[in-house]
Amino acid sequence: MTKPAVKHLWTDEQLDQLLGNLLRAGVVTAAAIVVAGAAVYLVRHGLQIPAYHVFRGEPSDLRSVRGILADVFSERGRGLIQLGLLVLIATPIARVVLSVAVFAVRRDGRYVVFTLIVLLVLVYSLLGGQV
């Protein structure tokens, strides 16, 4: 950030704008997928009585990415909703990945290291923290 020689590659304003657009696109995409899934789910199950006062946990097919995709392709509402939530969770992670790339292009070594640490913590916790 302090090197004026490479500043023409990516200014801070351009970076902010890029990351802002990415976040907005991710949230809007996730919202669209969830709304589509909710529409499918409500059409099929809208007239049932909810039993949300009992906690059941998610069914096993909604706990893995592969299971969720299988549910999406068989056009199940809950699979679509879950896919939308996955997109929503992936959005801030994509933002960090993109900032690593931009800082690398700007040859801003210190910020690349900082952002990589953030990315490492994110990925570690996403994998269940068991590594």
Partner 1 sequence: MTILLFSLLLWLGSLGAGLLGALTGLGGGIVIVPLLTLVFGVDIRYAIGASLVSVIATSSDRSSARGC
Residues that bind partner 1 (CB under 8 A): 13, 16-17, 19-24, 26-27, 30-31, 38, 42, 45-50, 52-55, 85, 88-89, 91-92, 95
Shortest Cβ 1–partner 1 spacing (Å): 14
Tell me the C-alpha distance between 122 and 90, whole Å. 10
Q: What is the dihedral of CA 66, 72, 78, 84, to 10 degrees?
A: 80
Of 27 and 97, which has the nearer Cβ to partner 1? 27
Shortest Cβ 55–partner 1 spacing (Å): 4
Of 46 and 73, which has the nearer Cβ to partner 1? 46
Q: Which helix (H) or strand (E) holds 99?
A: helix 77-105
Is residue 83 a contact partner of residue 67, using CB atoms and an 8 Å limit? Answer: no
Q: How many Cβ atoms from other residues are within 10 Å of residue 31's Cβ? A: 13
Shortest Cβ 52–partner 1 spacing (Å): 4
